[in-house]
Amino acid sequence: MPEVLCLIDGHALAYRTYFALTGYSAGASPSTSRWATSKGEPTAGVYGFTSVLLRILEQEPIDYLAVAFDTGRTFRHEYYSEYKATRAKMPDDLRPQIERIRQIVDAFNIPRLERENYEADDVLGSVACSQAAKGLGIKIFTGDRDLLQLVSDRIVVNLPGKTLADSRDFLAQDVGTLLGVRPDQVVDMKALVGDKSDNIPGVPGVGEKTAISLLKTYDTLDNIYAHVAELAPGVRKKLEEGSDLAHMSRHLATIVTDLIIPLDLEQAKLDHFDAKKVEEVFRELEFRTLLKRFQTWADNIQGIEETSRAWRPGGAGQQLALFAEEKPETVIPVAMPPHLPAAGDLDVVIVDTPDKLQSLVVELNSAPLIAFDTETTSTDPMRADLVGISLAVQPGKGYYIPVGHHSGVSGEQNLSIEIVMAGLRAPLMDLAIPKAGHNLKYDYVMLARYGICVTPLSFDTMIAEWLINPDSRNLGLKRLAWVRLDLQMTEIETLIGKGKNQRTMDVVPIADAAPYAVGDVDAVLRLMPVLQDELKGAGILVSSNLWKLFSELEMPLIPVLAEMEMTGISLDTQFLNQMSLELQARLREIEGQVFEMVGETFNLNSPQQLSQALFEKMQLKLPGRTKRTASGAFSTSVEVLDAMRGSHPVVDLVLEYREVSKLKSTYADTLSAEINPQTGRVHTSYNQTGAVTGRIASSEPNLQNIPIRTELGRQVRKAFIARSDWMLISVDYSQVELRIVAHMAQDEAMLEAFRSGQDIHTATAAAIFNVPLDQVTKEQRRHAKSINFGLIYGMSAFGLTRSSELTLAEAEDFVSTYFKRFPGVKHYLDTVRRQAAQQGYVETLLGRRRYFPSMKISEHSGLNREEREAINAPVQGTAADIIKIAMIHLSSAIKESGLSAHMLLQVHDELVLECPQNELKETVNLAQKTMEKAYSLSVPLITEARYGVNWGMMENF
């Protein structure tokens, strides 16, 4: 066997991994927030490249390694000015990452191969061919198919598949299968067909099938042209007219293989890395998982190298003869030391007898920490049946208690739920033993339904990851364990399948379910110290108040939200049924009016037919810059029709039709189906990690999105009712976000308005229009309200024209005058923008962070959306923090007061409670007092309370 030289195409690999990790696609913004350091440095491309580099070092049996990079414009650009001209510009945040990748390559002391005026392909081709001629085997890792032309008996090219994990080696026969031609014919193929990615023209009108057929018959481009007279007239004409383009294209596509590129094979050996430099760079980039992988590889490299000499790349044993002229050697598999025990290697104890349960309880009662999880039959904890419980007190060992398996496997046995709950109650409710898990609220609700309210809930790995990075895409336990620990866990689909063939967990054999379930709690215990260090600011992350936010706000909120979910709220189904009938009648009425105005009937729900009716049949004037859709029709989106509101009665009718239709389908027709048959109430699910701002999200059903601005929308709230002899209470913060702005900006005029109890919009209008408070008109107040709320959402003067009747000039004067009257607000907004650009993140008053790495690294304009979000994030996030504090305090206050009230709903700045009618006054007073004292600002927090038998018809308290 020859020694093997591995060559990496640096730029191609960086591009490929960047796109894979960010989800980047043409015309869409990449999701880069997850891939940035705490200081805002983008890392997607660096992380992807480094991860693949480590995988190569860990798994590939190679002797030497080098990396090639592009340097800029090449001779091909001089030869053909349009070369690669159609390629999209490199993403702004990827450009600085290329230098970081070079830095990592240098830290590993890997030879870095570059040549001015040539591409990395040329460098790779020249080195590969020269070293192969000296007897080495060559393996090239790239994302560029152009390199397939280099494949030979001694050169293999590795290309990624649909995902980075699907990469595969290409031998000569594989190239033929993929492209239909031999490796040595790839260039001639491109000469005929061209290459859109590189903007190589090829011969106009010649496609792949024709090119493959020609090359099979005549072998080479030159031979095709030598026999062009023999070809069919149509093909001959295309080739003759495109002769110059064909030969130019071949020149552009041909990789240069005769450059003199010095390569010191001694330096290219794998053991010349500088561990200190590598660890230093990894720590700067906050590559925690990769750092562990590097340290493991570095510690074992000598043994790995000695063993790997006898093993060469192969699939199903075929690649032993990968390189020619060598005899196969005995294959000795390399057993890479795992970073952590795999789930199947855990010590899994199935607790299926009373004696085993008793032994477990003894261990739990003396444990310093308990991680727990439940296996169930549904993702809805209010409808699911309990199948099993997994517990662990130390990594590497866990327990599984089956209580509801019905797999039919002989010898399986469950413990009765009553016995299990009786045994676990003491340790799981022991205040001295912290409890941990992933998405704890689900498991809390499950066990609470069976009589155990687990306490104290001390660590939720999902919430920890979300607090560290609100944009994280690793909130699922399996992905989080993979990213953080490099631990590959069994996916649930492995046990229950997916799609039509999916089954429920209760029919999975206990022997299969136990390792899976124990793997979850084991992963939690392993993730905890990693996440806790970051939350506390240890190690790499220079942190803030995240640990306090986590331990004093988010964790105590879990049982509060769980209790709200379990309580649910009652629905008036008769009201909803009647509402559905009335909405249907109104829809028919609107249809008739629209058809009469248009002069014909059509499908009002079809955007294309509606567009034809409004803009072709009725010739309505389009708002500026209205675009056509993919079907060729002008858009009838909400934005377009809103801009046309009032221009013709038919537009207003269409908008009403859409509102009525949405209300009917989303609420009137479907809410009743959400009623839990066991409780007779609707139980929404509250998601703490559902919004990057920190706000709580509601789903299944979403009770935070019920329309409130229209009378028709408000009707839906009437369906939410109190139980008999009870009352619903709504307590809402008054202008809390503007009060937060006043506190953050410390603008004296705004502070004074709030402190003196003035209506802030009236006070703003009086300041801007320079009139006394009592002379402010409704229109002036409305303009002031638009700008007050608009500015905290980053609204521009142009945006103000969209929400008012002001012209652009009037709006600009309005904004200018506003900032003169409230200079502190202007200074605050400018400061937030500057901080976001300089440090890559913004913070709430309590230290909750939201990252904006693109603002930090971009030198270009066009970041208006991110600027708006950066301005709003501290305000909206602080409002979210405040109401969370209020919910925690109010939950405790209700219990301590002995009142019977329950919190039912949280909708933005509003809390909805339910209490007995004879406790109404006391409950309202307690709720208002608690909410108003939740957090101390420079201005008072004020609430407004209402009450009634339903949520839609309430009186002021």
Contact residues for 657 (Cβ-Cβ < 8 A; gap 6+): 587, 590, 591, 594, 604
- DSSP H helices, 756-851, are 760-769, 778-791, 797-802, 808-821, 823-839
Cα dihedral across residues 481, 482, 487, 488: positive or negative = positive
Query: Is pLDDT at 170 greater than 90 in this prediction?
Result: yes
766-800: pLDDT as tens digits? 988 888 998 989 888 888 888 888 877 767 666 67
Query: Is pLDDT at 164 greater than 70 in this prediction?
Result: no
In angstroms, rounded to a whole number, what is the distance separating the alpha carbons of residues 259 and 276? 34
Q: Which range (253-267, 271-285, 802-816) has the least confidence?
A: 802-816
Band (pLDDT 50/70/90 cuts) for residue 489 is: confident
In angstroms, rounded to a whole number, what is the distance separating the alpha carbons of residues 855 and 543? 20
Query: Is pLDDT at 862 greater than 70 in this prediction?
Result: no
DSSP secondary structure of 859-926: -SS--HHHHHHHHHHHHHHHHHHHHHHHHHHHHHHHHHHT---EEEEEETTEEEEEEEGGGHHHHHHH
Residue among 313, 838, 792, 884 at smallest CA distance from 550? 884
Band (pLDDT 50/70/90 cuts) for residue 37 is: confident
Residue among 36, 134, 136 at smallest CA distance from 93? 36
Report yes or no: 890 and 903 within 8 Å, Cβ to Cβ.
yes
Whole-number pLDDT of residue 364: 98
Report yes or no: 451 and 386 within 8 Å, Cβ to Cβ.
no
Residue among 869, 35, 854, 26 at smallest CA distance from 473? 35
Neighbouring C-alpha atoms within 13 Å toward the C-beta of 40: 18
Query: Is pLDDT at 493 greater than 70 in this prediction?
Result: yes
406-422: pLDDT as tens digits? 988 998 999 999 999 99
Whole-number pLDDT of residue 32: 54
427-465: pLDDT as tens digits? 999 999 999 999 999 999 999 999 999 999 999 999 999
Band (pLDDT 50/70/90 cuts) for residue 320 is: very low
Band (pLDDT 50/70/90 cuts) for residue 165 is: low
Q: What average pLDDT score do residues 43-58 get?
A: 90
Whole-number pLDDT of residue 499: 83
DSSP 8-class letter at 166: G
Contact residues for 441 (Cβ-Cβ < 8 A; gap 6+): 460, 558, 561, 562, 565, 686, 688
Band (pLDDT 50/70/90 cuts) for residue 34 is: low
Q: What average pLDDT score do residues 536-543 get?
A: 53
Report yes or no: 760 and 939 within 8 Å, Cβ to Cβ.
no
Query: Is pLDDT at 651 greater than 50 in this prediction?
Result: yes
Structure tokens at 817: 């005058």
734-757: pLDDT as tens digits? 999 999 999 999 999 999 999 999
In angstroms, rounded to a whole number, what is the distance separating the alpha carbons of residues 316 and 318? 6
In angstroms, rounded to a whole number, what is the distance separating the alpha carbons of residues 64 and 137? 10
Band (pLDDT 50/70/90 cuts) for residue 337 is: very low
Question: What is the amino acid identity at position 335?
Answer: A
Band (pLDDT 50/70/90 cuts) for residue 856 is: low
Residue identified by tokens 């990748």 is: 101
Whole-number pLDDT of residue 514: 96
Whole-number pLDDT of residue 927: 98
Compare 234 and 862 and report the one with higher pLDDT. 234
Dmax over Cα atoms in the chain, in whole Å? 102
Residue among 796, 799, 768 at smallest CA distance from 784? 768
Whole-number pLDDT of residue 712: 82
Residue identified by tokens 């660590």 is: 459
3-state secondary structure 548-612: HHHHHHHHHHHHHHHHHHHHCEEECHHHHHHHHHHHHHHHHHHHHHHHHHHCCCCCCCCHHHHHH
In angstroms, rounded to a whole number, what is the distance separating the alpha carbons of residues 161 and 16? 11
What is the residue-averaged pLDDT of the chain? Answer: 87
Q: Which range (85-94, 510-519, 800-809, 812-821) has the least confidence?
A: 800-809
554-581: pLDDT as tens digits? 999 999 999 999 999 999 999 999 999 9
Give the pairing type, strands 910-916 and 902-907.
Answer: antiparallel
Query: Is pLDDT at 313 greater than 60 in this prediction?
Result: no
Provide φ and ψ at 459, rounded to 5°.
-150, 120
**H or E stretch at 211:** helix 208-218
3-state helix, strand, coil in the chain (%, to 5): 50, 10, 35
